[in-house]
Amino acid sequence: MQKHFIPLVIVALLVSVLPDVTHAQSAKEAFRALEKLEARCHKGMLYQNYRSGLGDARFEVNRFLESPQAAENNEITDSIRKVMSHYDFANDVWFADIRMKAMRSYLGPKGEPGQEALGRYPMASKNYKEGGALSGPRENVILVEYLLPIIWNEASEELKGTEARLLEMAAGL
């Protein structure tokens, strides 16, 4: 009887501890996937490569968001959602720009996603020569090659906050 009892106790302990380790891993994995995406974002990057990296990151982020740990750690969950939101919006902007260029047009500050971009990223409302993303005689053109780094920078800043929250969680604060 005692011979079977000890393995059962060990299995019960492992089962009770394992979910916490797994869920902690999913937050770390989501963070690492977002870090990888952050490292890929640069001028000259191809849209197809961005979309691929975004899909990889989304997989890990969704795994975390579906975990019990996400419900238990609202600050980390909200931060990861915000980071992902920036990267998703960059994808939307880039895709819209590709569509507009195919129609021999441009992305403007009126209409979607230009208007939303200028609302979400006030820095983009400046002329591109001043660190923004606007150009044209009446600043009626959004230069996506200047807007994307602004969006990615916001994602990077939020990701730093995510890292700080994860470190606090790991330290048990």
- If one counts the domains in the chain, the total is 1
Per-residue pLDDT at 137:
80
How much is the pTM? Answer: 0.82
Kindly state the percentage of the chain with pLDDT values over 90: 65
Strand partners, 141: 135
Measuring CA to CA, how many Å separate 62 from each of 18, 29, 38, 104, 164?
A: 20, 11, 17, 36, 20
* Whether 103 contacts 168, CB under 8 Å: no
Indicate the angle between helix axes 144-171 and 74-102, nearest 10 degrees.
Answer: 170
Type of residue at 85: S
Domain that holds residue 43: 2-171
The tens digit of pLDDT for each residue in 120-129 reads: 999 999 999 9
The tens digit of pLDDT for each residue in 130-139 reads: 999 999 888 8
The tens digit of pLDDT for each residue in 89-106 reads: 999 999 999 998 888 778
Tokens for 26, please give them.
Answer: 């999913």
Q: Among residues 171, 172, 167, 173, which one has the least CA distance to residue 28?
A: 167
Type of residue at 105: S
Q: Among residues 74, 77, 83, 76, which one has the least CA distance to residue 34?
A: 83
Type of residue at 19: P
Per-residue pLDDT at 154:
97
The tens digit of pLDDT for each residue in 60-89 reads: 999 999 999 899 989 999 999 999 999 999
- Chain Cα centroid distance, residue 131: 22
Higher pLDDT, 8 or 33: 33
Type of residue at 37: L
Strand partners, 135: 141
Respond yes or no on whether the N-terminal peptide bond of residue 19 is cis (omega within 30° of 0). no
The tens digit of pLDDT for each residue in 158-173 reads: 999 999 989 988 887 6
